[in-house]
Amino acid sequence: MTDKTLVTWHEHRVQRPRGCVIWFTGLSGSGKSTVANCVDELLHQSGEPSFVLDGDNVRHGLNASREILEPTFGSEYAERFGLGFSAIDRQENIRRIGAVAELFCDAGLLTLTAFVSPYRLDRDSVREYVCSRGTKSDFVEVFVDTPLDVCESRDPKGLYKKARTGEIKGFTGIDDPYESPLHPEIKLAGGTDTPENLAQQVVAYLRSIGKLRN
């Protein structure tokens, strides 16, 4: 049995106003990343500190796959720390992002995350983690509610086509479930409105809860 890891939380000497975590969730192709980047642009233009954590981008580094890690770190390391798309790997993917997003929030950033995050329990766990360190308003769930047929017609990465032919297994919305948020702070009609209009709705909500400084 390994020794228990002994760690201690150290309080910061500098106390900053907290930002918040704006968590975009929805099917692949729903427009999460596009809307999140539109919001980021609007916030940047008005002088608000913000940053986007994008699902695909994060899987190139922090949450890299076994295939990405193995050439540099070896197979044993890659098998232990690399993430795929199984249910447990998705859970760990979201746990890591939640931890990073909370750090950004604590640094005062409006942190926009764009992840399919298909499982309700995983999203609720991040909400609990973030809010336990601040207030209820520190986590804003944004459901980009775009119908499956619209997402599939867009198919920007060709993933739905591969899932339909069986080339990809366990793909959310096809042969793996997507659990829609029950009570999101914001619900966006991703199939019927423009990303720019949807972004304006998010910014208006952030202003209404006092998260914008400018």
- Report pLDDT digits (tens) over 104-114: 999 999 999 99
In this prediction, residues 191-213 reach a mean pLDDT of 96
pLDDT above 60 for 1: no
Res 6: pLDDT: 82
- Domain limits for position 92: 20-147+179-208
pLDDT, tens digit, for every residue of 38-79?
A: 999 999 999 999 999 998 999 999 999 999 999 999 999 999
- The C-alpha atoms of residue 21 and residue 106 are separated, in whole angstroms, by 10
In this prediction, residues 177-193 reach a mean pLDDT of 95
pLDDT, tens digit, for every residue of 141-158?
A: 999 999 999 999 998 889
Res 15: pLDDT: 84
Q: Is residue 97 part of a domain?
A: yes
Q: Is residue 153 part of a domain?
A: no
User: Pick the residue with more confidence: 175 or 1?
Assistant: 175
Q: Is residue 67 part of a domain?
A: yes
Q: Is residue 2 part of a domain?
A: no
| SS3 state of residue 110 | strand
Q: Is residue 189 part of a domain?
A: yes
Give the Cα-Cα-Cα angle 165, 168, 171 (nearest 5 degrees): 105
Res 2: pLDDT: 59
Q: Is residue 90 part of a domain?
A: yes
For residue 117, indicate whether it is catalytic. yes
* DSSP annotation string for 60-123: TTTT--HHHHHHHH-HHHHHHH---SSHHHHHHHHHHHHHHHHHHHHTT-EEEEE-----HHHH
Number of domains in the chain: 1
The domain spanning residue 61 has which CATH number?
Answer: 3.40.50.300
Token pair, residue 156, equals: 């920007």
pLDDT above 70 for 99: yes
Q: Is residue 214 part of a domain?
A: no
Which entry of 86, 117, 132, 208 is annotated as an active-site residue?
117
In this prediction, residues 192-208 reach a mean pLDDT of 97
Q: Is residue 164 part of a domain?
A: no
